[in-house]
Amino acid sequence: MHLTETLRSSTFRLALIAIGLFGAIVLTLFSYVYLSTASYVRSRSDGTISAEQMNLQKAYDRAGRAGLKAIIEQRISDEHFQDSFYLLTDSSRSFVAGNLKMWPADLGSSEGWQNFRAPGLANRPMLRAELKTFPNGDHLLVGRSIDDLDAFAGNIKAAFVWGIALIFALAGVASVLVTRRTVGRIEAINTASRAIMQSDLDQRIPLRGTNDEWDRVAENLNSMLDRIETLMQEVKQVTDNVAHDLRTPLARMRGQLEKAYHRRRDGEEDQALIGDTIVNIDGVLRIFSSITRIAQIEAKAQKVAFRTVNIAEITSEIVELYDAAAEEKGAHLHFVGDQRMCVTGDRDLIFDAVGNLVDNAIKHGRPDGNVTVEVAASGDGGAIISVADDGPGIPAAEHQNVFKRFYRLERSRQTAGNGLGLSLVAAVARLHGAHIEMLDNRPGLRFRLLFPPNLFPLSNTDARAPRGAEQNYIKPDALREDKTLRT
């Protein structure tokens, strides 16, 4: 990865902002500590000088110039006072006593505080001194070397400056490294994504096995890719099947029409052909509308028509409607369960879905078998519709496939039906938040639709809303805001 890329990355910019903020705080803190330490040390030193100056003045007042001279000489010889500097001169600034041999030349005044380089001494140390002129014109200078103090303050300052510089340098390096790592991971994901977009969906984003958040991102992206791949395969399968299911009747129609076109006109035969063609076209249209219907249900375009419906009533109506079909096959269709069991949903869709399950059960069950439709409460306050037959059932391995669009157990696709029924059931179940289960009925197959608890359990709205009442089509959202609307 290039440095410019690193510098451009948002992670790096964030790191810079953090470093800047942190640095400003540290700088302020250190400056404060430095300034207060320096002024404290200086004031201590100044205090010592003042006190000594005071002492010497008192000695002068008491014992005059000779007394002071004696004290100064005693101080100079005392090693406790080796940091101190003294100079007593007469009014013409001629040396009287002290360890400074001459009055410093560059002083403007001879009163108050002065900083100057000591004249006539090796190294010419920097001194800070308090000057005093006595009434008779004698001058007294009491001072201390401040080279040590300056060195001390300088040390602190240097430590701070280096410390801050080091912090900045380390933080800078750290943020470059972190940024590189982050940008590197993102770039790895980007590269893999680009490859996937450009060529094949089988590629996956590599994991590092660190189980960190980046691995989790990669895992999620990979499972998204899995899902996309499955969907793509399904779409391909569906397209193939649609092509088959639509092409077959269309080819048949085309053949018949072509033959008729070349034949002599014959009223009766033509009439029959046109009739056949209409029936075939209707079949094709029905497949079309089934596909779009499932697509629209899956796109959740339908929830507007949701309201409280009595699935027990719907189910018994279905049983009554399909009883004729069961009778035709010699099978027995039973309804078991309560007379009232409410869920939130769309009556048409539930009717269509459960009707499909019953239709399947009759078609695929034994010719003289039993089909049982049951409505019951589920443990969590929801409702269950179960449709069971005692026919040959479906091998467990095929269970997941039956919900796929156009899926049919017989590969030859010869029997009636378009293989869309169960995918419609699955779409309707999904829209209703219902769970669909397929169980072995030993013998036979049992489908269970598990509906979630009714959204409006207090509602006493009947499954059948009064006709001509458009306001009954209320969006569930609106209802959630005002549940009293229906009670």
Cα–Cα distance for residue pair 311/344, rounded to 1 Å: 9
CB 318 within 8 A of CB 372: no
Helices (H) and strands (E) in the chain, counts: 9, 12
Cα–Cα distance for residue pair 183/188, rounded to 1 Å: 8
180 vs 347 by CB, closer to another protein: 347
Residue type (1 letter), 220: N
226 vs 348 by CB, closer to another protein: 348
35 vs 272 by CB, closer to another protein: 272
Cα 427 to chain center, whole Å?
29
Q: Is the dihedral of CA 99, 102, 106, 110 positive or negative?
A: positive
Q: Shortest gap between Cβ of 286 and another protein (angstroms)?
A: 6
98 vs 421 by CB, closer to another protein: 421
Neighbours of 348 (CB within 10 A): 13
Q: Shortest gap between Cβ of 351 and another protein (angstroms)?
A: 6
290 vs 386 by CB, closer to another protein: 290
Q: Shortest gap between Cβ of 324 and another protein (angstroms)?
A: 4
CA distances from 84 to 40, 59, 122, 433 (A): 19, 17, 15, 93
Q: Is the dihedral of CA 260, 264, 266, 269 positive or negative?
A: negative
The residues that touch another protein, with contacts defined as CB under 8 A, are 275, 278-279, 282, 285-286, 289-290, 292-293, 296-297, 301-302, 304-305, 317, 320-322, 324-325, 327-328, 347-348, 351-352, 355-356, 359, 417-418, 420-421, 424, 464-465, 467-470, 472-473
- Residue 446 backbone phi and psi in degrees, to 5: -130, 125
Q: Shortest gap between Cβ of 267 and another protein (angstroms)?
A: 16
SS3 content of the chain, % helix, strand, coil (to 5): 60, 15, 25
Q: Shortest gap between Cβ of 419 and another protein (angstroms)?
A: 11
Residues ≥6 apart with Cβ < 8 Å to 336: 372, 373, 374, 375
189 vs 305 by CB, closer to another protein: 305
Helix or strand (DSSP H, E) at 186: helix 147-198
Q: Shortest gap between Cβ of 275 and another protein (angstroms)?
A: 5
351 vs 451 by CB, closer to another protein: 351
Q: Shortest gap between Cβ of 420 and another protein (angstroms)?
A: 7
Q: Shortest gap between Cβ of 10 and another protein (angstroms)?
A: 43
89 vs 302 by CB, closer to another protein: 302
Cα–Cα distance for residue pair 415/436, rounded to 1 Å: 25
262 vs 467 by CB, closer to another protein: 467
What is 284-348 written as a DSSP string? HHHHHHHHHHHHHHHTT--GGG-EEEEHHHHHHHHHHHHHHHHHHHT-EEEEEE-S--EEEE-HH
84 vs 308 by CB, closer to another protein: 308
Q: Shortest gap between Cβ of 264 and another protein (angstroms)?
A: 24
Cα 485 to chain center, whole Å?
38
User: Token pair of 63, please?
Assistant: 């014992």
Task: Find the largest Cα–Cα distance for the chain.
Answer: 159
Q: Shortest gap between Cβ of 341 and another protein (angstroms)?
A: 19
CA distances from 339 to 150, 316, 377, 447 (A): 99, 9, 12, 20
Q: Shortest gap between Cβ of 437 and another protein (angstroms)?
A: 23
108 vs 367 by CB, closer to another protein: 367
When computed from its CA atoms, the radius of gyration of the chain, rounded to whole angstroms, is 50
Q: Shortest gap between Cβ of 242 and another protein (angstroms)?
A: 15
Nearest to 245 by CA among 298, 300, 291: 291
279 vs 458 by CB, closer to another protein: 279
